[in-house]
Structure 1
Amino acid sequence: MAVAARAGFAARGLIYVLVAVIALQIAFSGDDGGQQADRGGALGELAGRPFGSVMLWIVGIGLAGMALWRLSEAVFGGPGPDGSKLSRRAADLFRFVFYCFVSYSVLAYAAGDRGSGSGSSDRHTDDVTARVLQWPGGQWLLGIAGAGVVIAGLWIAVRAVQRTFCKNLRTHAMSARARKVVEAFGVTGGSARGVVFAAAGVFALVAAVQHQPGKARGMDDTLRGFRDLPAGPWLLALVALGLAAFGVFSWCNARWRKV
């Protein structure tokens, strides 16, 4: 389980760094080579590199390891005094399902199914939003889901600023300098990730209020939305650097996470 968890954190970190690189290209040059600043775009970027096919398999297997580790924590409990709490086990079970889906999409993409995992997150978001709005009470359901995403994003950002992630790290194994660097990446990366989540939730709320599926945005359009604000390119670049920091923080977890 330790090996599976560390492989998963390493794979997650690579995806976030690649998304950040694409977002930086969008911020300043406007030329993203047709790539999407989301997981699908990251897979496409990776596939185009030397040994890209091998790397895709490695990333997919690493994410499958993350799913397996999350399942073990949901079943047996995690480290620390709160590792066996029902709320934490439920959260780990949700993460298990999420990483199962992500790892399957990456592995299917690596196996040659270019339609799996590589689609635009914006198109998927539009499709899901349109389907939900057709349900009885769908507008309310979408609004509640959007509000939940906003709250989750703010919660992620606040916990990052509070450095609550330190309790999950083997800080005693770090030097004083390494701990400061890891904390800096954790605060910066977690805050940026939370802001992106919250922004996506706001777009979902707008889609619900206006009953327009096209108002909801996936990760790519959410990031591009920062570029459309005043000083947008610099703001998007700042968010992109934050996502890159979260990728590096994931690599730090691969080394120092308590598992």
Structure 2
Amino acid sequence: MSSYGEPATRRDSGRPGTEGPGHRGRARRETRRAIVVAARTGLATRGVLYVLVGLLALQVAFGDTGEEADRSGALATLADRSYGSVLVWAVGIGLVAMALWRLSEAVFGATGPDGRKATKRASSAARAVFYGVLAYSVLAFAAGRKQNRSGDEQSRDLTARVMDAPAGPWLVGAVGCGIAIGGIVIAVQAARRTFREDMDTAALPEWARTAVDTVGVVGGLARGAVFTAAGGFLVYAAAAYDPAKARGVDDTLRAFAETPAGPWLLVAVAAGLLLFGVFSWAMAVWRRV
């Protein structure tokens, strides 16, 4: 009670600028709205990159060895279009939004009953770092600081520097195992359709839900295959103590064409990555945030 006999909360809430419950409620709503926008923007941007990488990988499978089938190739493809600079800046900003969304999950917790668990928060924090680094590289590209080396060369150079450090081969091998296991987890989760738990598609007709399931499963399997293969090459490089055995995304995709299945396996993986980009757009619309 105040000295005038009325509740203090009532008196304070009437003053301009004071932080009453109404102000806190509005702040929470604005924060939530910003997180939703960041999530949907980031997922849509991720979709753009995967669609471009998938298209570039299809071109490689059919004999076109122009652009690399990875992030740098995707950015170069965008930069060559009308208003290319604007498009590349937009991708960089979208990836910043993705990093901020994942950071918010690490701080406040993700959606779902397990969203506040330490493992979920740690996973979101790792994703925030990953997308933060990716956003920095894209924005650097947009600002004109283009890399003279390909993504595969950068991957081998980084592997060589790590392997020269104490216990370097063990560290490279551990990272490779982590990436490969992550790829297997991505593929298994896609096959089990666990993404349904994060999406609100109840209002969609049956055919639309089936389409979302299809692109989610096929796209997730292809994405998991690329991660698993890339991790396997890192483990191989560590075991052979040869950084040249490490492969970036482009070389990893080309390795699928070197299998007995020939370029058709690369076609299947490339089409899957393209579909994962489409699935990311679906997630941008119907993901629960």
TM range (shorter): over 0.9
Q: Are the aligned partners of 1:173 and 1:256 in contact in 2 as well (CA < 8 Å)?
A: no
* Equivalent position of 1:208 in the other structure: 238
* Equivalent position of 1:32 in the other structure: 65
* Equivalent position of 2:157 in the other structure: 127
Q: Are the aligned partners of 1:226 and 1:233 in contact in 2 as well (CA < 8 Å)?
A: yes
Equivalent residue runs for 1:120-159 within 5 Å = 120-159=150-189
Q: Which amino acid aligns with 2:36?
A: A
Q: Which runs of 5+ in 1 are unaligned?
A: none
Give the direction of change, closer, same or farther, for the CA distance of 1:43–1:119 in structure 2 (3 Å limit).
farther
* Equivalent position of 2:22 in the other structure: none
Equivalent residue runs for 1:110-259 within 5 Å = 110-115=142-147, 119-259=149-289
Q: Which has the larger radius of gyration?
A: 2
Whether 1:7 aligns to 2:37 is no
* Equivalent position of 1:46 in the other structure: 78
- Runs of 4+ in structure 1 off by over 6 angstroms are none
How far the C-alpha of 1:174 sits from its partner, in A, is 2.3
Distance, in Å, in 2 between the alignment partners of 1:215 and 1:173 is 49
Distance, in Å, in 2 between the alignment partners of 1:131 and 1:57 is 30
Distance, in Å, in 1 between the alignment partners of 2:206 and 2:126 is 34
Q: Are the aligned partners of 1:40 and 1:119 in contact in 2 as well (CA < 8 Å)?
A: no
State the TM-score, normalized to the length of structure 2.
0.85
Q: 147-156 or 190-199, which moves further after superposition?
A: 147-156
How far the C-alpha of 1:173 sits from its partner, in A, is 3.2
Q: Are the aligned partners of 1:189 and 1:246 in contact in 2 as well (CA < 8 Å)?
A: yes
How far the C-alpha of 1:137 sits from its partner, in A, is 1.8
* Equivalent position of 1:102 in the other structure: 134
Distance, in Å, in 2 between the alignment partners of 1:104 and 1:13 is 18
Deviations 1:135-184 (A, max 9, x none): 22222222222122111111110010000111010122322221111110
Distance, in Å, in 2 between the alignment partners of 1:4 and 1:150 is 29
Distance, in Å, in 2 between the alignment partners of 1:66 and 1:119 is 26
Whether 1:61 aligns to 2:93 is yes
Count of aligned pairs between the two proteins: 255
Tell me the secondary structure at the aligned position of residue 81 of structure 1.
coil
Structure scoring higher RCO (CA < 8 A, sep ≥ 6) equals 1
Query: How many percent identity over aligned positions?
Result: 56
How far the C-alpha of 1:12 sits from its partner, in A, is 0.6
Tell me the secondary structure at the aligned position of residue 9 of structure 1.
helix
* Equivalent position of 2:4 in the other structure: none
How far the C-alpha of 1:119 sits from its partner, in A, is 4.7
How far the C-alpha of 1:59 sits from its partner, in A, is 1.2
